[in-house]
Amino acid sequence: MNRRYLEVRARALSRLALIALIAVAGTVSAETLLIERVGAEGPGVAPTRGQSMAQVEARFGAPSQRLDPRGGQKRQWPTINRWMYPAYTVYFENNKVIDVVVNRASAEEIGPKPPIL
């Protein structure tokens, strides 16, 4: 199969998953989906993958909360550090950003569960 076909198929499946999520959530109303809010905010409002802890703190300020590190029990399991900001949670591995997860703005917004403290 060619790559273009697979990309189109993946987008179609993503749309179907979103429609299924709305159907499971109940009736469609004026609620905001988290993915819609994130798309509207645009780039540059959160750290990007590969930035160091020092770069994140210099650009976005000190986090509101530094959660306890997870992992690191074995050499092949790196320690993951988590910093919480009001709008998102930043995940670090070996002092570098590996992921940024946007927090829910309200209880009605459909999105990820809060992190385990």
| pLDDT tens per residue across span 56-86 | 999 999 999 999 999 889 888 899 999 999 8
Q: What is the mean pLDDT of residues 31-57?
A: 73
How many domains does the chain contain in total? 2
pLDDT of residue 4: 59
Tell me: do 4 and 55 sit in the same domain. no
Read off the pTM: 0.58
Q: What is the mean pLDDT of residues 92-107?
A: 85
Tell me: do 51 and 96 sit in the same domain. yes
Tell me: do 17 and 52 sit in the same domain. no
Whether residue 12 is predicted with pLDDT greater than 60 in this model: the reply is: no
Q: Is residue 81 part of a domain?
A: yes
Q: Which domain holds residue 69?
A: 45-104
SS3 for the chain, per residue?
CCHHHHHHHHHHHHHHHHHHHHHHHCCCCCCCEHHHHHHHHCCCCCCCCCCEHHHHHHHHCCCCEEEEEECCCCCCCCCEEEEECCCEEEEEECCEEEEEEECCCCCCCECCCCCCC
Q: Is residue 58 part of a domain?
A: yes
Q: Is residue 113 part of a domain?
A: no
